[in-house]
Amino acid sequence: MSVTYTIDGVEVVANSTDTILTSATRAGVEIPTLCFDKRTAIYGACGVCLVEVEGVPKLLRACSARPQEGYVVHTDTERVERARKTAFELLLSDHTGDCRGPCKLNCPAMTDCQKYVGEIRDGRYKDAVSTIYEAFPFPASIGRVCPHPCEDACRRQLVEEPLSIAFLKAFAADRIEADGDPYVVQCEPDTGKRVAIVGGGPAGLTAAYFLRRYGHAVTIFDKQPKLGGMLRYGIPEYRLPKAVLDREIEIITNAGVEVHTGVQLGRDIDFDDLRRDYDAVLLALGAWRSLNMRVPGEDLEGVVGGIDFLEHLGHDERPALGDRVAVCGGGNTAMDCCRTAVRLGAKEVYVVYRRTRAEMPASDVEIEEAIEEGVTFKFLTNPIEFYGEDGHVTGMKLQIMELGEPDASGRRRPVPVEGATEDVAIDNVLMAIGQGANCEGVASELLTQRGTIACDELTFRTEMDNVFAAGDVTNRGAGIAIQAIAEAQKAALCINNYLEGDEVRRHVPYFVTQEKTPEDFEDEPKQQRAKMPGLSPEERRSNFEPIYFGFSEEQAIKEASRCLECGCHDYYDCRLIRFANWFDVNPDQFAGQMHKREDKQVVDKVIMHDPDKCVLCGLCYRICDQEVGKTYLGLYNRGFSTEVNPMVPKEASAFCANCLKCVAACPTGAMKSCPSVERVTEIL
């Protein structure tokens, strides 16, 4: 006897053994469940399959309710939504773990570091590069120059030092390039939609890459003679060889991108024309203006912006410098400037910075290498005047500073020491205190007070419907390359939504995270971080040769093996996190006591059960009992303290069939098979 009913307006025919869940699933209406498995008797613990039936006062569990003729079932009422969502929020309020590793979560582009590091460890370099390409298209370039927020978050530093994640990325990309097996962009069929991208730097190119993947036609306009933006014109050759960058740009343009270089917005092309002629416009203009220091004398000859200085290098020019060069600023651009000045033959190069080394935003390794190359750091000094002869700078007056109270950024504020100054003779000043945007040609109503383009922080859409913006030109202004790339990746997704006629929105994914301390890793054997081989300071001072040789394969595999694999092994199969994002949960509202059971059950060297990730769906012990015919696992304690344990912990092995069916049935990452040598031996 079959019955016919509707669920969310879909007509469903159910047979006599069907529940609402089984019949609806067959009809393509997904009902979430964590505890249902057709191999076991209906259990009904998770309560996320609740549905509302017209005329039935209680919500029904779809896993057990039998549909009746003419039932009108809803899965999308407010009441169902609340009951289901609350269940997920409650579960997550007591769920301890890391859905994804801290490396990935700290990468602005959410690059799956743990995955590609693992692929490198396994020698699967092509897969590793493909993994990176899911996030952005510059593994070799970014691998060389990124200040790597991933490594800042890497938990390996709780053992000794973070993994050398960035260099591993460059290694994989270089390796497949050397193997003659480069990445090829796979594009969806053409959609017929056209997008204009103004700016061919990391943001513009990343957006072009993703938009091509979505199947849209892309045209890039760039003012410079060559694509690459700041990667080409802002980063010196010794850090990022142009040949490497060229290859990665070629991979993108080979995907079918129309490129117009030497074209400037507002001069050669008109903003309104672009809006009219293209379905969407992405403004990725970058931030090419060196900020002034508002110090007397900065218009003297010999005082130039750091960005402008580096841009000359990018054009293969060699600007003439005097013997004594001062670089003002403490960021990576300042480091690029001072190290370039050394290479151009300056005899004395000073970095003038108003705080101390500890507060410098530049990467530690950059500072270290600059010192090795002979750069003199003048910490706690601030230029208050540049002076000169015949219009050319000859010296600067520095105010001596000291550190006072912490400011809003948490760094201690530099304050002048009354009356303490120092005069330094110089021939050139390179100002690297920050970059501003130059948005000539862009409609003024799109601009912020600081001259950047205002856009939504989530969708990167501007006030104008079909205009998006990404990279250094947006909102707060310039940041590091991977931030610009990340914005472009997200903007491309939203442009795609827009072009497909969908709502322009971006879901910020929910992840379970946790904090760890060095104590958590006391038993972890120490393994030193791989040292990048490269030129000695003496060898690199006089030329622009790439300073790093790259990891050897042996080195790379060994380094990749240091990964602690913080991210949950079950992420891609985890039903809990999938539903959590489906229901847009906010478990923090129920924050309270969380289980922290230190004695994770390692059982029989076969199964590891993590009670802190367990949702008590009961599948493991029910499968063990009803499917395998063993009663190895069972529930212990009551209420909030309930947990799954082996029934006979002491004599575990005598009962376990080592079948791992419990592991496979677990809807989250609470059950794990232990990849130990012993296990393999035992199973054999």
Partner 1 sequence: MRVVIGEGSCGLAAGAGAVHARLSELFEQDNPTGAELGITGCNGMCFLEPIVDVYDDEGSLHRLVKVQAKDADKIHAENIDDYLAHGGYQAIGKVLREGMSQEDVIAEIDTAGLRGRGGAGFSTAFKWRAARDAKGDRKYLICNADEGDPGAFMDRAVIEGDPHTLIEGMLIGAYCIGAQEGIVYVRAEYPLAITRLKKAIEDATARGYLGKNILGSDFSCTLRIKAGAGAFVCGEETALIESLEGKRGMPRLKPPFPAQAGYWLKPSNINNVETYANVPWIISNGGEAFAAMGTKDSKGTKVFALTGKVVRGGLVEIPMGKTLREVIFDIGGGIRDGKEFKAVQLGGPSGGCVPASKLDTVIDYAELGATGAIMGSGGMVVMDETTCMVGMARFFLDFTAKESCGKCVHCRLGTKRMLEILDRIVSGNGEEGDIQKLEDLCYAIKDGALCGLGQTAPNPVLTTIRYFRDELEAHIDEHRCPAGECRELITYSINKDACIGCTACARQCPVQAISGERKSPHEIDPALCIKCGNCKTACRFGAVVVR
55 binds partner 1 (CB under 8 A): no
Task: Tell me the window of 78-86, 218-226, 319-327, 534-542 that interacts with partner 1 (CB under 8 A).
Answer: 78-86
**The dihedral sign for the CA sequence 534, 551, 141, 315:** positive
Q: How far is the CB of 14 from partner 1 (least distance, A)?
A: 15
- Report helix, strand or coil for 546: coil
635 binds partner 1 (CB under 8 A): yes
- What residues contact residue 137 under an 8 Å CB cut-off, 6+ apart? 185, 205, 206, 209, 248, 251, 252
Tokens matching residue 119: 């692929």
Q: How far is the CB of 368 from partner 1 (least distance, A)?
A: 48
Let me know: does 578 contact 34? Beta carbons within 8 Å. Answer: no
17 binds partner 1 (CB under 8 A): no
Cβ-based nearer residue to partner 1, 536 or 637: 637
16 binds partner 1 (CB under 8 A): no
What span, in angstroms and rounded, lies between the C-alpha atoms of 274 and 276? 5
Tokens matching residue 293: 């220091």
Closest alpha carbon to 16 in 33, 26, 2, 30: 2
Cβ-based nearer residue to partner 1, 66 or 558: 66
- Per CB under 8 A, the list member of 56, 72, 90, 464 interacting with partner 1 is 90
Place of tokens 């997200």: 490
- Per CB under 8 A, the list member of 5, 7, 36, 61 interacting with partner 1 is 61
Cβ-based nearer residue to partner 1, 129 or 616: 616
Q: How far is the CB of 181 from partner 1 (least distance, A)?
A: 49
User: Could you tell me what percentage of the chain is helix, strand and coil, using 3-state DSSP and rounding each to the nearest 5?
Assistant: 35, 20, 45
626 binds partner 1 (CB under 8 A): no
Q: How far is the CB of 10 from partner 1 (least distance, A)?
A: 23
DSSP string across 423-462: EEE-SEEEE-S-EE---TTS-GGGB-TTSSB---TTT-B-
Residue 128 burial by Cβ neighbours in a 10 Å radius (0-12, 13-18, 19+): buried
Cβ-based nearer residue to partner 1, 357 or 595: 595
- Per CB under 8 A, the list member of 3, 27, 42, 263 interacting with partner 1 is 42
51 binds partner 1 (CB under 8 A): no
Cβ-based nearer residue to partner 1, 92 or 120: 92
Cβ-based nearer residue to partner 1, 171 or 621: 621
Cβ-based nearer residue to partner 1, 572 or 640: 640
637 binds partner 1 (CB under 8 A): yes
The DSSP 8-state label assigned to residue 528 in this structure reads P
Which residues lie across from 282 on neighbouring strands? Answer: 197, 468
Cβ-based nearer residue to partner 1, 468 or 621: 621
- Per CB under 8 A, the list member of 26, 39, 79, 450 interacting with partner 1 is 79
572 binds partner 1 (CB under 8 A): no
Cβ-based nearer residue to partner 1, 75 or 290: 75
Cβ-based nearer residue to partner 1, 281 or 616: 616
485 binds partner 1 (CB under 8 A): no
CA dist 460 → 475, 489, 490, 504 (Å): 10, 10, 8, 10
What span, in angstroms and rounded, lies between the C-alpha atoms of 289 and 451? 11
- Per CB under 8 A, the list member of 3, 27, 56, 83 interacting with partner 1 is 83
644 binds partner 1 (CB under 8 A): no
CA dist 556 → 335, 356, 526 (Å): 27, 34, 17
The DSSP 8-state label assigned to residue 291 in this structure reads P
DSSP string across 3-43: EEEEETTEEEEE-TT--HHHHHHHTT-----SS--TTS---
- Per CB under 8 A, the list member of 598, 640, 651, 680 interacting with partner 1 is 640
- Per CB under 8 A, the list member of 505, 642, 649, 676 interacting with partner 1 is 642
Cβ-based nearer residue to partner 1, 72 or 83: 83
**Cα within 13 Å of Cα(533), Cβ side:** 9
H or E stretch covering 165: helix 165-178
The DSSP 8-state label assigned to residue 265 in this structure reads B
Cβ-based nearer residue to partner 1, 44 or 534: 44
650 binds partner 1 (CB under 8 A): no
Let me know: does 328 contact 383? Beta carbons within 8 Å. Answer: yes
Residue 577: CB atoms within 10 Å: 26
638 binds partner 1 (CB under 8 A): yes
Cβ-based nearer residue to partner 1, 92 or 367: 92
- Per CB under 8 A, the list member of 12, 50, 492, 663 interacting with partner 1 is 50
What span, in angstroms and rounded, lies between the C-alpha atoms of 232 and 315? 9
Give the chain's largest Cα–Cα span.
102
Let me know: does 464 contact 446? Beta carbons within 8 Å. Answer: yes
528 binds partner 1 (CB under 8 A): no
Task: Tell me the window of 82-90, 122-130, 341-349, 672-680 that interacts with partner 1 (CB under 8 A).
Answer: 82-90
Q: How far is the CB of 45 from partner 1 (least distance, A)?
A: 5
Task: Tell me the window of 76-84, 126-134, 321-329, 356-364 that interacts with partner 1 (CB under 8 A).
Answer: 76-84
- Per CB under 8 A, the list member of 590, 648, 655, 679 interacting with partner 1 is 590
What span, in angstroms and rounded, lies between the C-alpha atoms of 672 and 648? 19
172 binds partner 1 (CB under 8 A): no
- Per CB under 8 A, the list member of 12, 21, 73, 91 interacting with partner 1 is 91
Residue 637: CB atoms within 10 Å: 9
641 binds partner 1 (CB under 8 A): yes
Q: How far is the CB of 669 from partner 1 (least distance, A)?
A: 18
86 binds partner 1 (CB under 8 A): yes
Place of tokens 């006897």: 1
Q: How far is the CB of 152 from partner 1 (least distance, A)?
A: 33
- Per CB under 8 A, the list member of 18, 37, 94, 119 interacting with partner 1 is 94
The H-assigned helical ranges of 561-672 are: 575-582, 619-622, 652-655, 661-665
Task: Tell me the window of 98-106, 204-212, 219-227, 633-641 that interacts with partner 1 (CB under 8 A).
Answer: 633-641
In degrees and rounded to multiples of 5, residue 233 shows phi and psi of: -100, -5
Q: How far is the CB of 638 from partner 1 (least distance, A)?
A: 5
DSSP string across 464-510: STTEEE-GGGBTT----HHHHHHHHHHHHHHHHHHHTT---------
594 binds partner 1 (CB under 8 A): no
- Per CB under 8 A, the list member of 3, 45, 403, 647 interacting with partner 1 is 45
Task: Tell me the window of 131-139, 268-276, 279-287, 638-646 that interacts with partner 1 (CB under 8 A).
Answer: 638-646
Residue 111: CB atoms within 10 Å: 28
Looking only at the bridges linking them, the beta strands covering 72-74 and 3-7 are: parallel
Q: How many residues bind partner 1 (CB under 8 A)?
A: 38
Task: Write out the residues near partner 1 by the rule CB under 8 A.
Answer: 42-48, 50, 58-59, 61, 64, 66, 79, 82-84, 86-87, 90-91, 93-94, 589-590, 592-593, 615-616, 618, 634-635, 637-642
